[in-house]
Amino acid sequence: MTDRVLPTLEDVALKVDVSTSTVSRCLNEPWRVAEATRNRVLTAVAELGYSPNFGAQVLAAKRTNTFGAIVPTMSNAIFARGLQAFQDELMRNSATMLVSSSSYDAQIEEHQIRTLVARGADGLLLIGKRRSKSIYKFLEGRGIPVVMAWTIGKAHPWSYVGFDNAAGSASLAARAVELGHRRFAFLSGERAMNDRASDRVRGVVRVLRQNDLEHSGMCIIESAYTFDAAGDAFQRIMESSPRPTIVMCGNDVQAVGALKRAQALGICVPEEVSITGFDDVELATVVEPGLTTVHVPHREMGRRAAELLLAQVAGECGPKRIKLQTHVVERQSLAPPGG
């Protein structure tokens, strides 16, 4: 920043010979100003190249029109589409988006929540709902609207725009059972602070139980959401005996990691083992064989999260729960066992 001076409201007011209030109103509540005045003011604004001082505006108006989004990662596509939709919708409403990524780390996330709030975020988009009591208390104390996405929940006073992770993976598991699979393994993300990961496992267990299949002994291995880590985990799973006929993965990244490792090991997919993902990102369409996965309406989630936050900040509504539907997308990585 330099110390060059920019025109202020007062400069505009002087030039048009009205009060600063009138200029301010022209910009914020134009309908409350007579058309003739408004035109003169707006002309002057344009001529001077006036633009409101952000700090002053925030200080006086007590809102920043800025919303924070904290996602576990920006490096892969899982949250990218949702984030993009979120920001598009904000921009349509002339709000802006602050972003951080937490690397799937609860502590970092907590720190970032505090940072974004301190930065004056009017509302927050968070992923998932499992986090410390203290941070919820903090948020409640500040009265900041929060939308949690990629999940649904019922805790007050928060909003949710998401889907039922358990139901999503359950429908995929049901389809696998239908195809004849009996020995399941689950390659999960770390479930400790991640409700989405644990729900996805839970959905599968439920289906197995309902079908009177072995479920308590289902091999569940956790890995980070990277190709390599997932590949390693997959390899460990395939070394167990008896081998599962299907490895369901916590998300598409893990599934692709598993798939690649299978190919490296000379294990045929889906002939020797089926692999499934979750999310239906671009990646799933690109690998060979195509990944059977659960489609998640990322863009809609992002958009509606933004809508909801904007409405809540404007006082137009309170917390809401919006549940979206997922569906199974069948490609080639899931097939009957024994090829």
Q: What are phi and psi of 98, to 5 degrees?
A: -100, 135
Considering only 4, 14, 28, 239, the residue that binds DNA (CB under 7 A) is 28
Q: What end-to-end distance do the CA atoms of the chain give, in Å?
A: 65
Our CB check for a copy of itself shows the closer of 91 and 192 to be 91
Any residues with CB less than 8 A from the CB of 39 and at least 6 apart, and which? none
Q: Is 18 in the site for DNA (CB under 7 A)?
A: yes
Any residues with CB less than 8 A from the CB of 247 and at least 6 apart, and which? 185, 186, 187, 234, 237, 238, 258, 273, 274, 275, 276
Considering only 1, 2, 5, 156, the residue that binds DNA (CB under 7 A) is 5
Q: Is 57 in the site for DNA (CB under 7 A)?
A: yes
Residue 86, SS3 per DSSP:
helix
Q: Is 314 in the site for DNA (CB under 7 A)?
A: no
Q: Is 19 in the site for DNA (CB under 7 A)?
A: yes
Q: Which does 17 bind (CB under 5 to 8 A by kind): DNA, a copy of itself, none?
A: DNA
Q: Is 61 in the site for DNA (CB under 7 A)?
A: yes
- Residues lying near a copy of itself in the complex (CB under 8 A): 1-4, 6, 49, 51-60, 62-64, 66, 73-77, 80-81, 83-84, 87-88, 91, 94, 96-101, 112, 114-120, 122, 141-144, 227, 256, 260, 282-283, 285-288, 313
Q: Is 60 in the site for DNA (CB under 7 A)?
A: yes
Name the minimum Å distance from CB 117 to DNA. 14
Question: DSSP readout, 232-297?
Answer: HHHHHHHHSSSPPSEEEESSHHHHHHHHHHHHHHT--TTTT-EEE-SB--THHHHSSSPPBEEE--
What is d(CA 138, CA 246) in angstroms, rounded to the nearest whole number?
Answer: 43
Considering only 42, 44, 45, 52, the residue that binds DNA (CB under 7 A) is 52
> Which residues between 111 and 150 bind DNA (CB under 7 A)?
none
What is d(CA 114, CA 123) in angstroms, rounded to the nearest whole number?
Answer: 12
Name the minimum Å distance from CB 30 to DNA. 10
Name the minimum Å distance from CB 7 to DNA. 8
What is d(CA 220, CA 149) in angstroms, rounded to the nearest whole number?
Answer: 25
**Residues making contact with DNA (CB under 7 A):** 5-6, 8-10, 17-22, 24-25, 27-28, 32-34, 36-38, 50, 52-53, 56-57, 59-62
